[in-house]
Structure 1
Amino acid sequence: MTVVNPHQFFDLSKESPDSLPYLHTVLKDGQLFRYVESERESANTAIERYFAHYFGKEAAVAVSNGTVGLRLALQAAGVKPGDRVLVSAYSFIACAMAIASVGAVPVPMDMSTALSVDTAALTEVDGPIAAVMIVHVQGHAVPIGRVRELCDARDIPLIEDVCQGTGASSPDGRAGQLADIAVTSFQQSKQISSGEGGLVAGSAELVERVYRLSDLGAVRHGGGLPDWDDERAVMADNLRLTELQAALVKDQADALEDTLARQRANRTRLREALGSQVTVLDSEHPAGDSGSHTLFVARTATDAERFCAALKADDVVARVVWKKTYLEYGVFQRSELTSGLPSHCWPKVTVALGRRILSVPVSKYVAESGVARVAEAVLNNRHHLSREW
């Protein structure tokens, strides 16, 4: 039996209609398109209202996935081909890929310490910066108060990628709260999952642009009827979220605080079981972490691989979060967008430390006995872990 399965964030077979009211309503009335032809409010509309409030923004729009959300956010913020966008070097390749997909140049922001960014890039990069994208990692929120100040001073839009950070907070506040644009994801392994899906939150004007860019450029009138003759219509793609996905998101959003409490309780049990024998990689505000993952640092990259293999043999999931920065992948090394970046842009700290950072997911579904087994497996292999970094 697998003790921690990061993909088992939502098992419909175990849920009753009472625990999934939105989903069962949608299934019952058969209205699976976001523009519902009945008196029922669209689940898309419901989650857009929920997350606009959650991130402290004027509006929000649901889209097909988080990566699409990042791309549309960049486009709506006015990022153009050839522009430079600063992005957390310690992040999934999708973040830089979203920047490249609009023809812009992703410029890495190195770590200053683990789970924080070096703001020097905001003052040392020569030439204009079109946007800054800060990425929150594995349920840990990056403190971005200083980034916000520097963006304000230079009139640069700030995008927060909250895809892995929903529910997390730093000393500077909730992940996504300080951004001009907050983007989150509902992909399989997230706090709230509909398999795929995403959402963009920001000002009413910006969200309206994202809305059109994700909805074939149409101006929607009463009843959701599209108008492509309206002078505000644009050329765009179909990147909508289905009503079925949105309903599943809404049910889980309503239970988010309970999910966070259960995950944090599991994390506390794990830390107590580990005691002082293992050093946990903490954010600057551990109490604000979502509790979805506990992080460690291996002694070396080889130790990281051996640690993961040993835990797998005990049916416990452990992973190197990201083995490479986006710049180390061949697809970016071959790209004209990044091949010309000067050597001082190379994220030295992230390259050295990132491949040693390990993640052990502890979701709300893990029982106390499961947490104990995770702790035992970690303790048995603690010789692979570093006490400091």
Structure 2
Amino acid sequence: MTEIKFLDVGWTRRTLAKKIDEAVKRVLDSGWYIHGDELAAFEKEFAHYAGAKSCTGVGNGLDALELSLRAAGIGPGDDVLVPSNTYIATWLAVTRAGANPVPVEPLESTFNMNPDNLEEALTPQTKAVIPVHLYGQTADMDPIMEFAESKNLFVLTDAAQAHGSYYKGRMAGSLGHAAAFSFYPGKNLGAFGDGGAVLTNDPELAAKIKVIGNYGAEKKYHHDSLGFNSRLDEIQAAVLRIKLEKLDNWNWTRKELAAIYLKELADTPLILPEVPEWSIPVWHLFVVRTTAREALIKHLAENGIESLIHYPIPPHKQGAYKDKQNLSLPVSEKLHREVLSLPMGPHLKPEQVQQVCTVIKDFFS
């Protein structure tokens, strides 16, 4: 039986080889590798694509989150509301900025932050909230924004998995006060290495992020604040410009594959992801739930199908957050015991997804 990979990041390189080779050569021949024309062009193009006024390229998605918090004045003594169900980078950004992550339980149906739980998590020290658009579907932003505005909170969306997703007709990069993106190779819009960006409509915030990411210097050799070295390099920017042209097509392929999963697996015991009517997800991951996860993973592997878990351990149970391990977060803990990611990506053909569904139905028969 043909092996079905969970993800094939080399597929994009093979698909766009000629254009990517030309773009990389253009950068190498230019002799300018940091903060050049390619980055400026990508920042303009990605901001336009997502409906934001500005884009600032940074070193990676974690830096995009941290620099945004720092630029907004979030630091020691502050609390930041974060999802209990997310990749640990969301929490790490808060900790690295010197603030304290306060977890908010998700909706089981969408995996995303439950707006109804925000009030209970609020503290007198709360200064910000970070909704995550997990697995490529946006969080329910209107009630989150209404809550944040009533409490004067900064809203930073973690859009690392949501390149091109929509919420009520607005793209993920234009929601909240700022949006942090990752261009890790496995993302819907992935570089050939690490990379990230922040989108915002606030010119003052954008300027601060750019300065912080450039050693705290607005002018060369004039460092007016403590900064970092976090920059999206010219080669990665050039590659991302090529891939951005294909992003909508690749996302459309993901939607078609997700539709097959949703139809073919509807009568199985799996709990399938729900899509609210206001959402157009980009299916960065197709995540199902089952109490028979380990057995199903083994069955899939025996049939040449690769699957993964996103994520097996919630942040509050990680060794990095020993002070949070006694927290009671039952919804998140339940999800982390049951979630399973099936193969997803533009490298797949419909018949391969059909094959995955056939193997799963065989498992439950």
TM-score, normalised relative to structure 2: 0.90
2:346 corresponds to 1:360: no
2:33 maps to what in 1?
Answer: 33
1:371 Cα shift? 1.8
- Is 283-292 or 183-192 further displaced after alignment? 283-292
Instruction: Count how many residue pairs are aligned between Structure 1 and Structure 2.
Output: 359
2:291 corresponds to 1:309: no
Listed as ranges, the gaps of 5+ residues in structure 1 are 37-41, 221-225, 384-389
CA contact (8 A) 1:43 1:246 kept: yes
- Amino acid corresponding to residue 244 of structure 2 in structure 1: A
Inter-CA distance 286–80: structure 2 relative to 1 (3 Å threshold) = closer
Partner of 2:243: helix, strand, or coil? helix
Percent of pairs with identical residues: 22
2:216 maps to what in 1?
Answer: 217
The aligned runs of 1:19-30 (5 Å cut-off) are 22-27=23-28, 29-30=29-30
1:318 maps to what in 2?
Answer: 307
2:196 corresponds to 1:198: yes
CA contact (8 A) 2:6 2:342 kept: no
Partner of 1:87: helix, strand, or coil? strand
Q: Give per-residue Cα distances to partners, 1:301-320, cap 9 Å, x unaligned.
A: xx212222221222222222
Work out the CA distance in 2 between the residues paired with 1:5 and 1:353.
20
1:72 Cα shift? 0.6
2:185 corresponds to 1:188: yes
1:228 maps to what in 2?
Answer: 222
Listed as ranges, the gaps of 5+ residues in structure 2 are none
1:9 Cα shift? 5.6
Work out the CA distance in 2 between the residues paired with 1:212 and 1:288.
34
Partner of 1:355: helix, strand, or coil? helix
Inter-CA distance 376–252: structure 2 relative to 1 (3 Å threshold) = same
Root-mean-square deviation (CA, aligned residues, Å) is 2.3
2:139 maps to what in 1?
Answer: 142
Choose which of 236, 250, 266 in structure 1 pairs with 2:257. 266
CA contact (8 A) 1:304 1:320 kept: no
CA contact (8 A) 2:19 2:242 kept: no
Q: Give per-residue Cα distances to partners, 1:103-157, cap 9 Å, x unaligned.
A: 2110001013332322244322231311100111112222121000011111101
Inter-CA distance 287–151: structure 2 relative to 1 (3 Å threshold) = closer
- Amino acid corresponding to residue 372 of structure 1 in structure 2: Q
1:285 Cα shift? 4.0
The aligned runs of 1:1-389 (5 Å cut-off) are 2-8=3-9, 10-18=11-19, 22-27=23-28, 29-31=29-31, 33-36=33-36, 42-115=37-110, 116-124=112-120, 125-171=122-168, 173-194=170-191, 195-202=193-200, 203-220=202-219, 226-228=220-222, 233-274=224-265, 276-277=267-268, 279-285=271-277, 288-298=280-290, 300=291, 303-333=292-322, 335=323, 338=324, 346-382=328-364
CA contact (8 A) 2:6 2:307 kept: no
Partner of 1:351: helix, strand, or coil? helix
CA contact (8 A) 1:76 1:206 kept: yes
Q: Give per-residue Cα distances to partners, 1:174-219, cap 9 Å, x unaligned.
A: 3232210100110021001112110011111111111111111222
- Amino acid corresponding to residue 271 of structure 1 in structure 2: L
Work out the CA distance in 2 between the residues paired with 1:266 and 1:172.
22
Partner of 1:296: helix, strand, or coil? strand
CA contact (8 A) 2:266 2:272 kept: no
- Is 195-204 or 353-362 further displaced after alignment? 353-362
